[in-house]
A = this chain, B = another copy of it.
Amino acid sequence: MIRFDSDYMAGAHPEVLEALVRTNLELTAGYGNDPYTAEARDIIRHLCDCPTAEVMLLVGGTQTNATAIDGILRQTEGVLAADSGHIAVHEAGAIEAAGHKVLTLPHYDGKVRAEDVDRYITDFYADETYQHMVAPGALYISQPTEYGTIYSRAELESLSATCHKHNIPLYIDGARLGYALAAEGVDFTLRDIARLADAFYIGGTKCGALFGEALVITRPALIKSLFSLVKQHGALLAKGRLLGLQFSTLLRDGLYTRIAGRAVEQARRLREAFRAAGYDVVIESPTNQQFLRLPNAVIDRLREHASFDYWGPRGETHSTVRFVTSWATTDDDIDELISYL
């Protein structure tokens, strides 16, 4: 059975695991006060061309979103997001549990539009009753989105400019950021992300690590008492070096984007094979998630050999399904899947 359910089915990239094994018996200080975390922070600041960035390594994506957004917002503020955004749908109300409303915008294949953000905020303050409503205090976007799409550099510039025009920070959920940085036709770099976002995270869990997300805060003092806030959210890993080691291994010499690039290329091959076989590509995704509309009979036949998820409910005759590749996908996996078409 070849598996395309998600990009968090394997452990860590072997180089990452090897670093953990190599250092396993070293004794270091806890909570991120170790040399490996320091190194990871330095590498990230360098890659972001942002020497003043605050870098905090956390364990998971929902945790990182909840902690960062809680730290960014005041009590009376909410966070703007696509109604398809992970925080709006699939985080079990973690944002609300910290007291904040998710203010939803329409999505276009997972993306929000700068003009919608601009209109929302403008209309908000034009409403005489705005003080009775939850004020937009930040914009959340995911890059790539939950639909595999990516914002172009121009779109990021526009969203960033809109946020700053209205004096709210832009926060980017980079759970799969590696796959965006290595996407087909990508026209931005990590430095662009760091320049345009006020805070974002570099996802490790889905991009080669056992676990781990590197929160990068580029606007000084955006979040006060970050360490304590992380602790309060139950998000402070005792053996913080496990995070430091993983990120320094992934980022030191480009392993992160290299393995993501391979997964993106595999996803492209997979998509084009389906297209060549006459099936509908539902979303033109340049990253490691591909969304296809297939006859149910085809789905049933493929599922004898491969696992993958429905995207929405099963239809009468056709359904949309999602295939996800990762650093752990092999070229043979792709060849084999294609052979079943």
* Interface residue ranges, A against B (CB under 8 Å): 3, 5-6, 8-12, 14, 17, 20-21, 23-30, 59-64, 66-67, 70-71, 74-78, 89-94, 96-102, 123, 126, 128-129, 131-135, 205-206, 210-211, 224-225, 227-229, 231-239, 242, 309, 313, 328
Asked if B70 contacts A75 (CB within 8 A), the reply is: yes
Question: What are 30 sample pairs from A and B whose C-beta atoms fall under 8 A apart?
Answer: A8-B238, A8-B239, A9-B29, A10-B24, A10-B27, A11-B24, A11-B242, A14-B24, A17-B20, A17-B21, A20-B210, A25-B328, A60-B238, A62-B236, A63-B234, A63-B235, A75-B98, A75-B229, A75-B232, A76-B224, A92-B131, A92-B133, A92-B232, A123-B313, A133-B228, A135-B228, A210-B239, A211-B238, A211-B242, A234-B234
Bound-complex Cα distance A75 to B199 (A): 19
Chain B residues positioned under 8 Å from A242 (CB to CB): 11, 210-211
Out of B3, B126, B227, which one reaches A131, CB within 8 Å? Answer: B227
Bound-complex Cα distance A26 to B77 (A): 35
Asked if A75 contacts B66 (CB within 8 A), the reply is: no
Q: How many copies does the complex hold?
A: 4
Chain B residues positioned under 8 Å from A102 (CB to CB): 101
Asked if B78 contacts A234 (CB within 8 A), the reply is: no
Bound-complex Cα distance A78 to B99 (A): 13
Chain B residues positioned under 8 Å from A20 (CB to CB): 11, 17, 210
Asked if B134 contacts A59 (CB within 8 A), the reply is: no
Given contacts A30-B6, A30-B8, A131-B92, contact A60 B236 (CB under 8 A): yes
